[in-house]
A and B are shown apart, each in its own frame.
Chain A
Amino acid sequence: MNAPAANWPELVGRWIVGHRCALGGVVLVAVLWWLLLPWKSNAATWCEALGWADFYREMGDGSIGRAISESLWLFPVIEVVHLFGLAVLGGSVIVMDLRLLGVGLKNAAPAKVLANTRPWFFAGLVVMIATGVPLFLSETTKCCFNHSFEVKITALFLAILYTLAVRNRVAVREGASTCVMQGVAVLSLGLWFTVAAAGRWIGFSG
């Protein structure tokens, strides 16, 4: 069937309808950022408001935290390994989400791409947590009063939950619609981007 030549408002409209799930994902990420960014005001952090500052300080007073904060090179070295983890975790997330978006390995079944990226996702995640916890222990008091840190940790929990409970399930489900897969991928990329960006911003703030 040959559709009649459409004018541009109609083409834009069709594009929007065709990408409604992806656009919905963009809106959700935008809402998330709109909720998160005001935290960078003078408002108290959750850690502060809940009165956890002493608890955070005690965590940092342990042998691991002190060893790192007293060492000249331990923090940078752990941080470099943290970045290695970032590369592997990010790469596996991107390759999977590109497939869900219908680009990249678009001719392979999403379940197959997931089976190949999932071990590297977990490898990257384990490296990031194993290095992230010591980095946190070396500057717990700074983290307690740092808005970027709480944004990062909140987004991290959401991203892990979302990846395991939603994205990976959609990837293995037979016959998930293109529209749903795109929306799921956009939200995944948005969540992981928030984790990484807020994580980098810890160093710039407070």
Chain B
Amino acid sequence: MDSRYEPSLVHSFTAWLDSHAWSTALHESLWVWPLVESTHVLTVTLFVGVLVMVDLRLLGFAFRDTPVSVMTARVLPWSIGGFCLMVVTGLLLFYANPVHLAHNVWFRLKVILLVMAAVNAWAFHRRVSRDRERWDSQPRPPVSVRLVAATSVSVWAGVILAGRMIAYNWFECGRDQSAFIIWAAGCAADLTP
């Protein structure tokens, strides 16, 4: 390793995770890794799918005569349950291959999109707490609410896109990459050609 190269905090942390025997065991497992990964993929239906049904209500495209409060009270919790399963399986998948993922541009994009989704969810709850009574039963909620719902659908679609693309090694460190990718993936100086 180049003596001038200082590994980043992210790199040091993930390298430490990578050194765990359980991380390697999970990564190399014949059955457990595929089962965890499949659970992560299939939970898209429970988490994103059910969330989309709530968002379609907010957009005025479905359940137009069901109050928004009924959707958030009766349907949204199932989506949140799916989200919890996503987090658990997602963390396990990250633990199985931390250094590789931390330097994967798609994974980094996914993390950025997750932060955007969190900000959007916070915006939604702020918006809801202000004056939901006024538009709770409206078939088509106000434009600001519809905007939040459209953002939710778009950002989660982006998360699915970025998540699926993690599997492809087009922008991997160590291959002949542009300066932008080397920067975006945080490739170590000694890994770049």
Q: What's the dominant secondary structure at chain A's contact region? A: helix
B52-64 vs A, Cβ < 8 Å mask (1 yes, 0 no)? 1100100000110
Interface residues of B in 32-59 (CB under 8 A from A): 34, 37-38, 41-42, 44-46, 48-53, 56
Q: Among the interface residues B52, B71, B78, which one has the most CB atoms of the partner chain A within 10 A?
A: B52
Using A87-B52, A197-B38 as known contacts, say yes or no to A94 and B45 having CB atoms under 8 A apart: yes
Known pairs A79-B164, A200-B38, A204-B34; A94 contacts B46 (CB<8 A): yes
Known A-B contacts A72-B170, A80-B160, A105-B74; A90 and B62 likewise in contact (beta carbons under 8 Å): no
Q: Are B164 and A120 in contact (CB under 8 A)?
A: no
Q: Which residues of A contact B78 (CB under 8 A)?
A: 94, 98, 104
**Residues on the B chain within 8 Å of A197, using CB:** 38, 42
Chain B residues with Cβ under 8 A from A104's Cβ?
A: 74-75, 78
A151 within 8 A of B: no
A116 touching B44 by the CB < 8 A rule? no
Q: Which residues of B contact A91 (CB under 8 A)?
A: 45, 48-53
Contact partners of A92 in chain B: CB under 8 A: 49, 53
Q: Which residues of A contact B (CB under 8 A)?
A: 72-73, 76, 79-80, 83-84, 86-95, 98, 104-108, 112, 116-117, 119-120, 193, 196-197, 200-201, 204
Given contacts A116-B66, A197-B38, 18 further A-B contacts (CB under 8 A): A72-B170, A86-B44, A86-B45, A86-B49, A87-B44, A87-B45, A87-B48, A87-B49, A90-B44, A91-B51, A92-B53, A98-B78, A105-B66, A119-B62, A120-B53, A196-B45, A200-B42, A204-B38
**25 sampled A-B residue pairs with Cβ under 8 A:** A73-B170, A80-B164, A83-B41, A83-B44, A84-B160, A86-B49, A90-B44, A90-B45, A90-B46, A91-B50, A92-B53, A94-B46, A95-B50, A95-B53, A98-B78, A104-B78, A105-B66, A105-B74, A117-B53, A120-B56, A196-B42, A197-B38, A200-B41, A201-B34, A204-B38
